[in-house]
Amino acid sequence: MGSRTLIFITNIELAHEALITKGQEFASRPRENSTRTIFSYDKFTVNSAVYGPEWQSLQCNMVSGMLSSARLKEFRPARETSMDWFIDWIRAEAESSEGAVWVLKNARFAIFCILITM
């Protein structure tokens, strides 16, 4: 698809082998170009790190620090506010461009607002 190779697994036995039996072999991210490496802090973010002890530590910190039930309850108002803004931005964009909306741009900004608040 485009410049990326995609593999679709439609057999349940093969899916189990790929995800469970040989999960570590398929867990890492593809190589990135130099620009993406800069923005991923030299692969030191949970969504870009190579699978291994470093990724496991980053993932554990994210889950215990940002995604714990206590933290999710604490930041509910920030999520609600950001989602209200998200809907307002989409409405405003739809009105100003005859119904055409760039949802991904607005969704990324809403998520950014939530994360920056957290």
Q: pLDDT tens digit string along 30-59?
A: 666 676 666 666 666 777 777 788 888 888
CA distance 23 to 29: 13
Q: What is the pLDDT of residue 32?
A: 66
Global pTM exceeds 0.75: no
- pLDDT of 97 > 60? The answer is yes
Q: pLDDT tens digit string along 7-29?
A: 888 999 999 998 889 887 777 66
CA distance 43 to 32: 9
CA distance 50 to 54: 8
Tokens of 65: 């620090």
Residue 81: what residue type? Answer: T
